[in-house]
Structure 1
């Protein structure tokens, strides 16, 4: 049994397992990490997201969760706390919600296949192949190798590469999604090591620090210290991967707010 810190209280748990969405807690490099492993090859798992209801205004974590039907939710891409604008594009159910031009992407296509890629800085991307996409991450792992170079990706805020609470998402060679979060303060390279330990072949860091958040089946495992603007979510339910898309309001670009 391993210790899990839940809403500030220590309790003992073992790794839990549902059919296609599994939870684990593990100590790596002296730091405890919460991890979700989700089988995207299953018809019963779908990745999606939530954005703030009003552009320019952040929201409490629980308020955003209430609109999600999420089994799992974590903080999404970085955002400017002055205007609550995400730095990277967000596409949910095929619809562009936010447009941004910074950082690495995680994308899920209409066949539930995941990929991580690195658009050129400042360039529009064609989002039409993707049901879900989030841009603005810091690359951690590329092809199984640790590749942490935030300055090369034009990240300038020193808080990005300093020690902080962290959230990361990645993909294995067999199309399983890995999500990791920690209440400990760690460097990006330590986060990359944790993702590699869970088998991620490609991975990015999402928003962390005061924004770091993780929810799993009714419990907050990592509690944010501020209001948020966007979440990455996983839903587990029979056939949810093939639920009908809403009528789109835009075309196949990442142009949103």
Structure 2
């Protein structure tokens, strides 16, 4: 046999094998990417259960303030550089007591009257700020019970890559107010406890935000608790994104510790607690010429300035959306060219 022809056959066979192997590898890689980020995987449909039995034995925290529509929903003074958008205070929101005059002058002025139901179980005051070159939207919420702070999955389905717009999920649940959640569906790990039901009990390294039935909110280390322990301790909602922004009244992120994320100005979503059953929902626009966005540290400073003793960073970027009074009030954007919502896997909302 001609040695030259034999070598050609060997080379040809090797080349075909390489092509076949490369094709299979590329196909597998493509499938893995699509399975992780694109292909919906429904794990539980009809996932809208509310375990309200948790509240039958839950006692309100001792520091919880009674809810009243006559009390302004926020008493925290803004940071010195913050300027509320509205310059006029609706007459019905002005306190009659003379002693409140000085405090009212320093308090951010509401851009809308508080909304409440007839039983005054829910009081929401919506405000807008412009700080650090960024448009920031704030909803100050007082509840008679933490059961009105609820969550919902896209299409009422727990799973991976099952998504819908924040506004669509909110409208389907008659939400008075809603923000995007932690986008649990893009992760394989991290506790998911929603409305008193455990959907995922595998821990991740991320800080976990817990909302308890007594109206308190805490940032916990998942290495110290199992999901089952948290539920037994009265956790009504648990989110796995983070990091925690404010813990025990102190800022818990720094430029040094969070360089990879905190140095970037981006759209942000956060939630915080001022006192039991008194919460703040915050969304900041970003990545546009009119609104730069916030770093994590700037977001933490802002949450602290509103009086939050606990605050937590949720999914941001193009996901950052606030829905209030039946409409999206901020300008969600990823690339800065158009204002459009991004589909997400879950929301946090106020409703009954």
Shorter chain as denominator, the TM-score bin is 0.7 to 0.9
The structure-2 alpha-carbon separation of the partners of 1:148 and 1:212, relative to structure 1 and needing over 3 Å to count, comes to same
Aligned structure 1 segments of 4 or more residues deviating by more than 6 angstroms? none
Give the structure-2-normalised TM-score.
0.55
Note the C-alpha offset of 1:212: 1.0
The structure-2 alpha-carbon separation of the partners of 1:95 and 1:120, relative to structure 1 and needing over 3 Å to count, comes to closer
Q: Paired residue for 2:346?
A: 230
**Contact 2:272/2:308 (8 A) holds in 1:** yes
**Contact 2:211/2:218 (8 A) holds in 1:** no
**Contact 2:147/2:213 (8 A) holds in 1:** no
Q: Paired residue for 1:8?
A: none
Q: Paired residue for 2:213?
A: 110
The structure-2 alpha-carbon separation of the partners of 1:48 and 1:151, relative to structure 1 and needing over 3 Å to count, comes to farther
The structure-2 alpha-carbon separation of the partners of 1:78 and 1:135, relative to structure 1 and needing over 3 Å to count, comes to same
C-alpha distance after superposition, 1:145-204 (max 9, x if no partner): 21115996xx89x45652210011111135410111011321011111211121101111
In terms of fraction of residues, the more helix-rich structure is 2
Give the structure-1-normalised TM-score.
0.73
Using the TM superposition, name which of 175-184 and 217-226 deviates more.
217-226
Unaligned residue ranges in structure 2 (runs of 5+)? 1-83, 87-109, 117-122, 287-292, 333-339
Separation (CA, whole Å) in 2 of partners of 1:230 and 1:151: 31
Instruction: State yes or no: 1:214 paired with 2:315.
Output: no
Separation (CA, whole Å) in 2 of partners of 1:60 and 1:180: 20
Q: Paired residue for 2:137?
A: 34
Q: Paired residue for 1:199?
A: 307
| Larger RCO, structure (CA 8 Å, separation 6 or more) | 1
**RMSD of the TM alignment (CA)?**
2.9
Listed as ranges, the matches of 1:131-146 within 5 Å are: 131-146=236-251
Unaligned residue ranges in structure 1 (runs of 5+)? 4-12, 241-257
1:92 aligns with one of 194, 208, 222: 194
Structure (1 or 2) with the larger CA radius of gyration: 2
Note the C-alpha offset of 1:28: 2.7
Q: Paired residue for 1:169?
A: 271
In terms of fraction of residues, the more strand-rich structure is 1
C-alpha distance after superposition, 1:72-113 (max 9, x if no partner): 111111457xxx3365322222111234424233323333x1
Using the TM superposition, name which of 219-228 and 16-25 deviates more.
219-228
Using the TM superposition, name which of 64-73 and 42-51 deviates more.
42-51
Separation (CA, whole Å) in 1 of partners of 2:347 and 2:205: 17
C-alpha distance after superposition, 1:115-148 (max 9, x if no partner): 1222145963323212222232211112222111
The structure-2 alpha-carbon separation of the partners of 1:95 and 1:199, relative to structure 1 and needing over 3 Å to count, comes to same
Q: Report how many aligned residue pairs link the two structures.
A: 219
Note the C-alpha offset of 1:231: 1.1
